Amino acid sequence: MSTFTPTEMMTVAAARALSNDDVCFVGIGAPSAACNLARLTHAPDITLIYESGTIGTAPTVLPLSIGDGELCDTALNTVSVPEMFRYWLQGGRITVGFLGGAQLDRFGNINTTVVGDYDKPKVRLPGGGGAPEIAISCGEIFITMKQSTRGFVEKLDFITSLGHGKGGSDRADHGVHTKGPTRLITDLAVWETDPQTKEFTVTSLHPGASRKDVEDTVGWPAKFADHVIETPAPSAEELQVLRDLHARTKAAHEGQ
């Protein structure tokens, strides 16, 4: 069996969540790696959309930001940002939004604004960008993040992007009728949203990860499904394609 890192397992598991028919709004970083791995393996016809207005983009290397020229150069079409958000996103034409964050709570609410008090924060983060609109307008949301008590917190310092609010019907009570976060893929496990409480619940543990590993890296009492399976390990093809993608990206960004 091939050896792989927890980050590789996370990226592969996240990529598998996507299908060939998806129209996916892609966040930069871990979501971008997962979405492009899906495109290069089992979902060649997936439509990847980035916030800068690129539609059907097929980058050969991972973008540094939404403004990376690689996205526009390889896209089927590029539209203005207002058209992207008003017509494509708010028009309900995007099936999946793939997001990350600095802080996350058990109901899928995301913070990318500040750590600490808003007026005098310990850390001022990049901000929401398009994520708040992505979080409420896409058909459903997948989130990918590495687990840590620093990032997986009981209470967010600031809610940048709405998940399920306080849980239960809170999202719908605010007039938001898309599904919201349905899946969380980490370096340890796959979590899915409980149909009633809307709390993330572990449904699959990655090879080598234990329940204690999961419990020790979240700031809330972790919940597990009645039947937790083991995530299938990455295939040789998935690992090779992912590693080649990262190698090309590294070489391009270092000017080689």
Look up the domain containing 81 and give its range. 6-253
Strand partners, 77: 55
Total domains present in the chain: 1
The one catalytic residue in 8, 51, 133, 199 is 51
Residue 27 is predicted with a pLDDT of 87
- Burial label for 105, CB within 10 Å (0-12, 13-18, 19+), is buried
CATH number at residue 25: 3.40.1080.10
* Of the candidates 65, 69, 149, the residue with the CA atom closest to the CA atom of residue 104: 149
3-class SS of residue 199: coil
Determine, yes or no, domain membership for 245: yes
Determine, yes or no, domain membership for 107: yes
Rg (CA), the chain: 18
Determine, yes or no, domain membership for 1: no
Pairing of strands 23-26, 96-99: parallel
Determine, yes or no, domain membership for 18: yes
Residue 114 is predicted with a pLDDT of 96
Q: Give mean pLDDT in consecutive 10-residue pieces for the chain, a chain of 256 residues.
A: 89 97 92 96 96 94 91 95 94 94 96 95 92 96 96 97 97 96 98 97 98 98 98 97 96 81
Residue 256 is predicted with a pLDDT of 61
Active site residue 238: no
Determine, yes or no, domain membership for 118: yes
Residue 254 is predicted with a pLDDT of 85
Using CA atoms, how far apart are residues 146 and 101, in angstroms rounded to an integer? 10
Residue 253 is predicted with a pLDDT of 85
